[in-house]
Amino acid sequence: MITAIICTRADNGTHTRNNLLEFFNSCHIKTQLMINQTSIFNAYTQAIQVSPKENNDFFIFCHDDIEILCSKDSFLDVLNNYLSNPKIGFIGPAGTTHLDRECVWWNQQLWQQGKHKGLVFHGESLLKAQPTYYGPYGKVIVLDGLFLACNGKIINSIKTEKPKEFPGEWDFYDLYYTTQAYLNGYNNYAVPIPILHNSRGELAGRDSWHANRLAYRQLFNKHLPLSL
């Protein structure tokens, strides 16, 4: 079974969210809309608790403002080819091979050094979209949270609840989840799932983002920096 968990703030969906739901439906993927949640950590954890979690079950965690641009057959092939591998943790469209003590996966200096991997289209529509090319697809340490996927074995091996050290409710869940998988010995991958994201992450500068960044750094202090 494949379950997609989407944390969303509105009952009436946008055109983008409706397209996303239609795409998942065409792939026979069960969707769980977590509406008007106060925490993305809690939303994902609640949805997981009521879902089957066998090793061969697949889970998708994604934003509601994305559109998947490949065919359903191509999409399912990528999920099956990666998530059926017992050595793989999380997959997603973009991530990095090096995380320094700043704990900003898209660090511009590291980007220039070729440390990042993946591709995401950003814009309100595909006609107006700009491709953000991070680097060639491949193994990474952590992944961006606009889209994450893993199997039931990984879900059963990590903590999904918000750590008590995190003041904010919405930030750094992606690094928290994928770091755990990496430290547990699994390989995370940036994979060819082309995605249009309506947001460029402008909220990264908010106070709660910085607070969770510092909390993440303290929580994983003995492991930083992380590098392949």
2-227 — its CATH code?
3.90.550.10
The structure tokens listed for 101 are: 């003590």
pLDDT given at position 45: 95
Q: Could you report the per-residue pLDDT of 54-93, keeping only the tens digit for each? A: 888 999 999 989 999 999 999 999 999 999 999 999 999 9
- Percent of the chain predicted with pLDDT > 90: 79
pLDDT by residue (tens digit) across 110-144? 999 999 999 999 988 888 889 999 999 999 999 99
pLDDT reported for residue 16: 85
Taken in order 146, 46, 29, 184, is the CA torsion positive or negative? positive
The ranges assigned to domains in the chain are 2-227
Average pLDDT of 97-117?
96
